[in-house]
Chain A
């Protein structure tokens, strides 16, 4: 198994996580910064403080301080009754967590990566997602399943899959995909407060990335709405819809496209289920062109669903076929050059956007 912390993030994980307020390095005129890791840690801390029913459960979340240090300091602060280290038995501890949620507690289950959630997927789908429906509202399941999702760096075929589309298929689940620190804080808090099962898909490579953050986001009552996308960059020529790490790539692609006179609008989906169809359609009705970007396998993916909903709702507005950038349709190879080909790169997004704008691709 694993406990990969890359060189860069290792240094960050060695820094102590202090309470949210003092994490910021506040210079007199510079914006405050926070890493995604700090954002998640502070969100967990605040929600556990606010509601004694919230507890953490998963492998290495306690004494080890979290495989990726997301739960650092929480065992010391809240004790072993609320931060539970489990054996390596996903089916067992996930079932136990769902059962606790039936009874009214609010578990936050950590999967060391979502690849291991497959051992527990029956409980996520059949025990959690469908219960409120089957019981006609008697048994709601206020549980959060969180952890890193998608490709990391060189971790091979069994440790690199993105599960957004799989979980988003299922009615009864909510599926969130934060990108930056504001997303991480606001969406995790929303997920924990939500009475339904939420699948919270983080990204290992984003944990160490730092983003500017406002005072509003730092407040312990801060929360983002579930089911609403964010326009990260306004534009008028082409819409690029992405989630998680690919939002960063899309923003970089937008900078490159700008130099060629293409003004891209980048949508940070934030929520895969519910999918913010109106935000996507509003954007496409403005730009008339769409590129979807995801790291996952292409077939039956998030991009396919977005394309379908745009064709259904905004067909006459489309001036070009919808372009789809996704992971390669192969199991993730280990060799660095093959891995690079298997995951979308910024140039792939640029090329697709240019095609959508009928520009020649250089």
Chain B
């Protein structure tokens, strides 16, 4: 069996592909094979005020294959969104997540749909992780009826309440107190579930985050704050924005864990650990060391404040999908061709979804006035010319 060796500029990763125990020598159909495999994370966890979990992660062929497929799907989806934006089918803002996929899939592997997730505006893949469909994503991006917010929200405002995904927020940092509020409600209702409130390194300095964290710690709320540290807040590198970019320590009295956010298994382990902690002892901060290949948004080339060498370096050394691919190959769980076939399937799925999304019509004009309130009390609302266009809010 071929062990592909990962070269890295840092001292870590030598242990990446050394399996401690392996499954069968005979390959079973991977999609159902749950024979345990133990894999070491790329680097050990760094902890603050807590005992770090083990870097040996239990997984299985089915999970690894699912990670591969899901991340390939997310990657393809974001790249397709880039093209749609350039073709002017997507308007306004579009913040892409490619490079960061490992967090979305790793987190989902550790939790249930009864746990809550809330994030900022880089939300397409998070939505997919919660069970959203490609059609809902592309239709929403193009402002069509089949979109997850019926075309009224746009890229930054994806929601999926039935899977406890609370959006999708445009104002930097606002989602963190909201997430602590979800955790409050979960505890209040005795649901034994947790909330993951995600934010970036740019948002990590927001005062409201510390206010909400303080209250969460006082009241032992099951809130897990996840800093997706991709090292740049729009065009500003972390060292220019934060006196202390050790975001996992910024909670001070709140424990924290620093995780390689490009390693889906490390993410899974950390989230599992965090969920157990939050249910028992209150808030915890996870810092995910991750990277976005695109600029901040489609209006930002992403190369004026970082070098192309840096971007391609991360892609070579740390790409989350490549990591899983190498793991699958080194454990002989699938052939290169099978993995390439999956990528082809995924590409086709994305293309099909785009075609269907393009066929979805724009919202009906009457929808301008729907959902302003949950209970409109029969009041009147107005269009731009109040004598020409008015509606009664139901």
Residues of A within 8 A of B (CB): 1-5, 7, 10, 59-60, 63-64, 67, 85, 87-89, 91-92, 115-116, 118-119, 152-159, 298, 323-331, 333-338, 341-345, 348, 351-352, 355
Residue of A nearest to B140 (CB): A334
Q: A2-B93, A159-B170 are in contact. Are A334 and B384 (CB under 8 A)?
A: no
Residue of B nearest to A10 (CB): B299
In the assembled complex, which residues on chain A have CB atoms less than 8 Å from the CB atom of B362? 335-338
Partner of B367, one of A3, A115, A338: A338
B388–A351 CB distance below 8 A: yes
Min distance, Cβ A304 to any Cβ of chain B, angstroms: 11
Partner of A344, one of B169, B173, B205, B384: B384
In the assembled complex, which residues on chain B have CB atoms less than 8 Å from the CB atom of A355? 387
Residues of B within 8 A of A (CB): 88, 91-93, 121, 140, 143-144, 149, 151-157, 169-173, 202-203, 205-207, 233-236, 240-242, 296-297, 299-300, 304-305, 362-363, 365, 367-369, 372, 381-389
B205–A335 CB distance below 8 A: no
B154–A59 CB distance below 8 A: no
Further 15 A-B residue pairs, CB within 8 A, beyond A157-B157, A341-B384: A1-B121, A1-B297, A64-B235, A92-B205, A154-B92, A154-B154, A156-B155, A159-B92, A330-B368, A333-B363, A333-B368, A335-B151, A335-B152, A341-B383, A341-B389
A155–B92 CB distance below 8 A: yes
Partner of A156, one of B144, B153, B235: B153
In the assembled complex, which residues on chain B have CB atoms less than 8 Å from the CB atom of A327? 384
In angstroms, Cα B93 to Cα A153, docked, is: 9
Partner of B381, one of A119, A328, A334, A335: A328
Min distance, Cβ B369 to any Cβ of chain A, angstroms: 6
B151–A88 CB distance below 8 A: no
Interface-central residue, B88, B149, B170, B381, by most chain A CB under 10 Å: B170
B369–A89 CB distance below 8 A: no
Partner of B93, one of A115, A118, A155, A157: A155
B202–A88 CB distance below 8 A: yes
B172–A156 CB distance below 8 A: no
In angstroms, Cα B367 to Cα A85, docked, is: 41
In angstroms, Cα B387 to Cα A324, docked, is: 9
B385–A88 CB distance below 8 A: no
In the assembled complex, which residues on chain B have CB atoms less than 8 Å from the CB atom of A63? 235-236, 305
In angstroms, Cα B295 to Cα A159, docked, is: 20
In angstroms, Cα B121 to Cα A88, docked, is: 15
Min distance, Cβ A99 to any Cβ of chain B, angstroms: 16
Q: A327-B384, A351-B385 are in contact. Are A334 and B153 (CB under 8 A)?
A: yes
Residue of A nearest to B241 (CB): A87
Min distance, Cβ B141 to any Cβ of chain A, angstroms: 9
Q: A327-B384, A338-B367 are in contact. Are A1 and B299 (CB under 8 A)?
A: no
List 30 A–B pairs whose Cβ atoms lie within 8 Å, in order of A's numbering.
Answer: A1-B202, A2-B297, A4-B297, A5-B299, A64-B235, A87-B205, A87-B242, A88-B202, A89-B206, A154-B154, A155-B154, A156-B154, A156-B155, A157-B170, A158-B171, A159-B93, A325-B385, A326-B386, A328-B368, A330-B372, A333-B363, A333-B367, A334-B157, A335-B144, A336-B362, A338-B363, A338-B368, A341-B389, A348-B385, A352-B385
B170–A60 CB distance below 8 A: no
Partner of A1, one of B149, B157, B242, B296: B296
A337–B363 CB distance below 8 A: yes
In the assembled complex, which residues on chain A have CB atoms less than 8 Å from the CB atom of B149? 334
A342–B368 CB distance below 8 A: yes
In the assembled complex, which residues on chain A have CB atoms less than 8 Å from the CB atom of B169? 158
In the assembled complex, which residues on chain A have CB atoms less than 8 Å from the CB atom of B367? 333, 338
Q: A159-B93, A328-B368 are in contact. Are A88 and B157 (CB under 8 A)?
A: no
In angstroms, Cα B385 to Cα A233, docked, is: 23
In angstroms, Cα B255 to Cα A145, docked, is: 38
Interface-central residue, A1, A91, A324, A342, by most chain B CB under 10 Å: A1
Interface-central residue, A115, A338, A343, by most chain B CB under 10 Å: A338
A338–B365 CB distance below 8 A: yes
Min distance, Cβ B98 to any Cβ of chain A, angstroms: 18
A1–B170 CB distance below 8 A: yes
B236–A85 CB distance below 8 A: yes
In the assembled complex, which residues on chain B have CB atoms less than 8 Å from the CB atom of A2? 93, 297, 299
B382–A328 CB distance below 8 A: yes
Min distance, Cβ A42 to any Cβ of chain B, angstroms: 23
A329–B382 CB distance below 8 A: yes
Partner of B205, one of A4, A89, A325, A348: A89
In the assembled complex, which residues on chain A have CB atoms less than 8 Å from the CB atom of B144? 335
